[in-house]
Structure 1
Amino acid sequence: MRRKNTKKEFFELEVFDAGAKGKSLAKAPDGKIVFLSNAVPGDVVDVQTFKKRKGYYEGKAIKFHKYSKHRVKPECEHFGTCGGCKWQHMDYKQQLYFKEKEVINNLERIGKIELPKVTPILGCTEPYFYRNKMEFSFSNNRWLSFEEINADITIENRNALGFHIPGMWDKILDIDKCWLQADPSNAIRNGLKNFATDQNIPFFNPRQQEGALRTLMIRTSSTGQIMVVVQFFSGRKQQIEIVMEFLKNSFPEITSLQYVINPKGNDTIYDLEVVCYSGQTYIVEEMEGLQFKINAKSFYQTNSEQALNLYKITRDFAGLTGSELVYDLYTGTGTIAQFIAKKAKKVIGVEAVPDAIKAAKENALHNKIDNIDFFVGDMKTIFNDTFIKTNGHPDVIITDPPRDGMHKDVVQQILKILPSKIVYVSCNSATQARDLEILNPSYSITKTQAVDMFPQTHHVENVVLLEKRI
């Protein structure tokens, strides 16, 4: 039995909104929403759908009758194929508008919260070259363009060093210039790719699980230091030596040159040994005189400039006077905890990842901060009555959970102990709103501030201050 064709075409639809996972919205004649990946609000387009769901369609604009006044020419030649910068065709001021709108809508619609006067979103002074960490993948079977596939030629060199095609774990788009990380990132990536190709060092094949070169990570810091980590699938000493010597000699500005041998089925390195080939095992980030050592496995906000602004907002919202006991939940490597420590009597940081807490303790010792204690544990189990009795009742809780938000048991424990203030930092305003709705009977939301950490994408951070109702 033939499947019913669910693909439809719609004509001259006006795109009216944006936000949902970076997609723009139009409305079909039957009233259903159409999600589009290649349009900007204000465009008038013909649409070809490729998915139909109960309440909406997913599609693509195939003809433009009118271009939006907010549409701009993308800087990157890879835009539209690479999935990293989905909003690069939208004016940056308009990007900020839709990010702020999404935060407000989520808090009001999902959280059912009456918001105070909203402070305008804090945008980035540099909407390009803002990332301090990039990860690239090697492949011996790069993604081919439509023109290449249909050309009557044989492409012998299929090596690539770039990004995964969205939704395709084994397809890598070769990148010439990426606009997300400042030089010498592009020079290092392209130099290594060309050298390895010339030396016939095999690039990784994820389907066959073979090859030598697997991934490349480049980290930079505001202090000017550079870390490069090369991940090898196989550990042939001669190949590793050739690659690492090339990087060491060609890019003397690299201050931390390391490698990993990873024969596993995935690219994660957190359970593997990282070998320092040259320089230090870390780079140093600095904020207001505090120094943070960042190693190959460390989590650190990928936008250094906006991370500083985010932490300043968090500290300002907390309104510390020097007498408060502060709990920093989901503390990570303890950057927020250390940033606010001089304003607090004591800070307690809690995190589930042992390596992160190890780094947090080392950084606190380096920064000569002695009013912080860090603890390792699964938040939903460690954050209990015994823990609070042992470490003291918090006056202020700062929480910066992952995208899924806080575990329900953590929210209930907060409601049980009722600190005077909660500062909730979130990278997902939808799950933040869900948690705020639960907290709302006991807390009023008195401040909210969105921060754009990721220009050219739909992602946005949001900080909310909750104060205990009297």
Structure 2
Amino acid sequence: MSRGTKHKFFENITVIDIAEEGKGVGKADDFVLFIDKAIPGDVADVQVFRSKKNFGEGKITELKKPSEYRVEAFCGHFGTCGGCKWQHMTYEAQLKFKQKAVADALSRLAKIDVSGMLPIVPSPADKYYRNKLEFTFSNKRWLYDGESRDNEQLNMDALGFHIPGRFDKILDINHCYLQAEPSNSLRNSIREFVLQHGYSFYDLKQHTGALRNLIIRTSSTGEIMVVVVFAYATEEEVSKLMGYLETEFRQITSLLYIINQKKNDTIFDQDVLAWKGPEYIYEEMPSPHGVIKFRIGPKSFYQTNSIQALKLYEITRDFAGFTGNELVYDLYTGAGTIANFVAGHVREVVGVEYVPSAIEDAKINSAINNISNTKFYAGDMKDVLSAEFVAEHGKPDVIITDPPRAGMHPDVVARLMEIESPKIVYVSCNAATQARDLQVLKEKYDTVVIQPVDMFPHTQHVENVVLLTLKQVLTSTESTPSTESTPSTESTESTPSTESTPSTPSTPSTPSTPSEI
């Protein structure tokens, strides 16, 4: 091991683990290294480019010995694009480390016994599995090595994904393995057309330019939605591009556009204008009660891996063990996908969601499926889920909660403790925040089943479903100690593992390139 003066340099570092953000973890004495594109089992020389007292972020300068899990990346954009960061790892290894990440989070943060955790559910497809991608137009294309900014002939326009950590730089994407055709041909044809016709691409700093974003949604029904987001385009520019898409891509069933001249890219408060077809497409899911249809608009939230979404909802339903007479609260219901999926198995579902437009989608999804036993309410969860709300609707037999990555607000967790529903099914896209909430809930709830689900192959992201049941309060004559009442502090006294060392100095997060993962 040797160290430079300005930046630390380490030789022959063995990668021993993977951090929450997907980087490899190595150690040099007590100094922890988070290493880009490193895989457990790699032995490498590492150059640190960002350093704190006890840890640093680095990159491999020379791979001395490759891990047994290492494979050749299949995408030409790997290493620059922020998506599919694990494609240089076998899929079997990805599943192994995702399973471990969930187990580590729940055991270390929530002090939960994970010995009975079920094996992770793999994705049947590890490529072209997404039903939605969003691309950005920019006049600040990311330049590769060998390209000179001084070259006046250089085309600086790009249509693609944000570079991690560089909001103003866009990687021009030629082929993406996340979404099936016609996604690639659509994007590439649009780029070629607008370049030929002199359209200006958006300037992310100056907030100028005609073209801003491109959203492509597909569904299992074969329907295709294309949304072009313009900024400062003329009517002629809008008409010319939309007319081209209508003529050249007749398979598009919903062709829409938006004029967004705000400083940010969010479209939830923007008007959607229809050029051709309806403002929505449909997704379908099989169920024991027949096929359930979900109407998806340009602003709708819907799980981006349709096949695994079905599996996730089936697990949620099965964990709840419905008998047909349950009152269910579906918290963070979104467009009511879980609520409508389980409605045929229960007496009534009450869904709550912060976004009013999502609640409207949820109601529509109930209506088109002739589902009459659902009710939906919009509002901040910590305000809506009050004692008065429970008194009005009744104490739930089952609570399903599927919060965003930040987890549940502490007031919501406290409210669940007060409600004391017999069962809680907690669906999470972030095992760390799920563990934080479970650490509180375990005072009154036992963890019965844990089931990770891989929704996003070649990324570090993983969904996890946990079934909780209310602890039985024993009388003084029944309070003989059981095996499961062993103090949970035992798990905290185990030998510290390498993954717990960097729990505080986590590496800075960067925006995921393909959205909603």
What is the TM-score of this pair, normalised by structure 1? 0.97
| 2:120 partner amino acid | I
| 1:213 partner amino acid | L
Aligned counterparts, 1:53-132, within 5 A: 53-115=52-114, 117-132=116-131
Distance 2:387 2:64 in 1: 62
Distance 1:439 1:116 in 2: 19
Residue 339 of structure 1 corresponds to which residue in structure 2?
341
Q: Residue 246 of structure 1 is aligned with which of 230, 240, 244? A: 244
| 2:243 partner amino acid | E
CA contact (8 A) 2:211 2:233 kept: no
Give the CA deviation at 1:446.
0.5
Number of aligned residues: 465
Distance 2:429 2:386 in 1: 25
Q: Residue 369 of structure 1 is aligned with which of 368, 371, 388? A: 371
Distance 1:55 1:156 in 2: 43
CA contact (8 A) 1:222 1:285 kept: yes
CA contact (8 A) 2:329 2:399 kept: yes
Distance 1:449 1:218 in 2: 31
Aligned counterparts, 1:443-454, within 5 A: 443-454=445-456
Residue 133 of structure 1 corresponds to which residue in structure 2?
132
Give the CA deviation at 1:441.
1.5
CA contact (8 A) 2:209 2:233 kept: no
Give the CA deviation at 1:31.
2.0
Structure 1 stretch 48-57 or stretch 271-280: which is displaced more?
A: 48-57
CA contact (8 A) 1:19 1:99 kept: no
Distance 1:104 1:359 in 2: 35
Give the CA deviation at 1:37.
1.0
- 3-state DSSP of counterpart to 1:447: strand
Residue 275 of structure 2 corresponds to which residue in structure 1?
277
Residue 211 of structure 1 corresponds to which residue in structure 2?
209
- 3-state DSSP of counterpart to 1:419: coil
Distance 1:20 1:311 in 2: 25
Distance 2:314 2:46 in 1: 44
Give the CA deviation at 1:154.
4.2
| 1:292 partner amino acid | F
- 3-state DSSP of counterpart to 1:424: strand
Deviation string 1:343-382 (CA, Å, 9 cap, x unpaired) is 1111100011100000100110110000111011110011
Distance 1:46 1:154 in 2: 38
Distance 1:285 1:295 in 2: 11
Residue 198 of structure 1 corresponds to which residue in structure 2?
196
Give the CA deviation at 1:5.
5.1
| 2:226 partner amino acid | V
CA contact (8 A) 2:30 2:54 kept: no
| 2:122 partner amino acid | G
Distance 1:103 1:39 in 2: 20
CA contact (8 A) 2:326 2:346 kept: yes
Residue 426 of structure 1 corresponds to which residue in structure 2?
428
Give the CA deviation at 1:155.
3.4
* 2:54 corresponds to 1:52: no
CA contact (8 A) 2:212 2:231 kept: yes
| 2:27 partner amino acid | K
Distance 2:139 2:441 in 1: 51
Note closer, same or farther for the CA distance 1:93–1:457 as it changes in structure 2 (3 Å cut).
same
CA contact (8 A) 1:115 1:446 kept: no
Distance 2:60 2:227 in 1: 40
Residue 287 of structure 1 corresponds to which residue in structure 2?
285
Q: Residue 174 of structure 1 is aligned with which of 155, 162, 172? A: 172
Deviation string 1:424-470 (CA, Å, 9 cap, x unpaired) is 00000001001101010211001010001111100000000001111
| 1:9 partner amino acid | F
Distance 2:285 2:52 in 1: 47
| 2:96 partner amino acid | Y
Give the CA deviation at 1:19.
3.6
Distance 1:111 1:156 in 2: 53
Distance 2:404 2:206 in 1: 33
Deviation string 1:379-399 (CA, Å, 9 cap, x unpaired) is 001100100000111010000
- 3-state DSSP of counterpart to 2:276: strand
Residue 470 of structure 2 corresponds to which residue in structure 1?
468
Note closer, same or farther for the CA distance 1:332–1:361 as it changes in structure 2 (3 Å cut).
same
| 2:400 partner amino acid | I
| 1:248 partner amino acid | E
Percent identity of paired positions between Structure 1 and Structure 2: 53
Distance 2:159 2:263 in 1: 19
* 2:37 corresponds to 1:22: no
- 3-state DSSP of counterpart to 2:147: helix
CA contact (8 A) 1:116 1:445 kept: no
- 3-state DSSP of counterpart to 1:397: strand
Residue 397 of structure 1 corresponds to which residue in structure 2?
399
Deviation string 1:193-251 (CA, Å, 9 cap, x unpaired) is 00000011111111221110111000001111110000001141000001101111111
Which segments of 5 or more consecutive residues in structure 2 lack a partner in the other structure? Answer: 473-517
Give the CA deviation at 1:116.
5.2
Which segments of 5 or more consecutive residues in structure 1 lack a partner in the other structure? Answer: none
| 1:69 partner amino acid | E
CA contact (8 A) 2:19 2:34 kept: no
- 3-state DSSP of counterpart to 1:413: helix
What is the TM-score of this pair, normalised by structure 2? 0.88
Give the CA deviation at 1:16.
1.4
- 3-state DSSP of counterpart to 2:13: strand
Distance 1:182 1:416 in 2: 46
- 3-state DSSP of counterpart to 2:324: coil
Distance 1:163 1:413 in 2: 40
- 3-state DSSP of counterpart to 1:252: coil
Distance 2:211 2:421 in 1: 51
Distance 1:208 1:411 in 2: 43
Residue 226 of structure 1 corresponds to which residue in structure 2?
224
| 2:336 partner amino acid | G
Deviation string 1:148-206 (CA, Å, 9 cap, x unpaired) is 138x8543322210011111111011001001000110000000000000011111111
Distance 1:12 1:323 in 2: 61
Give the CA deviation at 1:411.
0.8
Give the CA deviation at 1:33.
1.4
Superposition RMSD on alpha carbons, in Å? 1.2
* 2:41 corresponds to 1:42: yes
Distance 2:239 2:178 in 1: 29
Give the CA deviation at 1:22.
1.1
Q: Which runs of 4+ in 1 moved over 4 A?
A: none
* 2:330 corresponds to 1:328: yes
Give the CA deviation at 1:6.
4.7
CA contact (8 A) 1:453 1:461 kept: yes
Give the CA deviation at 1:141.
2.5
Distance 2:350 2:161 in 1: 39
- 3-state DSSP of counterpart to 2:342: helix
| 1:399 partner amino acid | T
Residue 307 of structure 1 corresponds to which residue in structure 2?
309
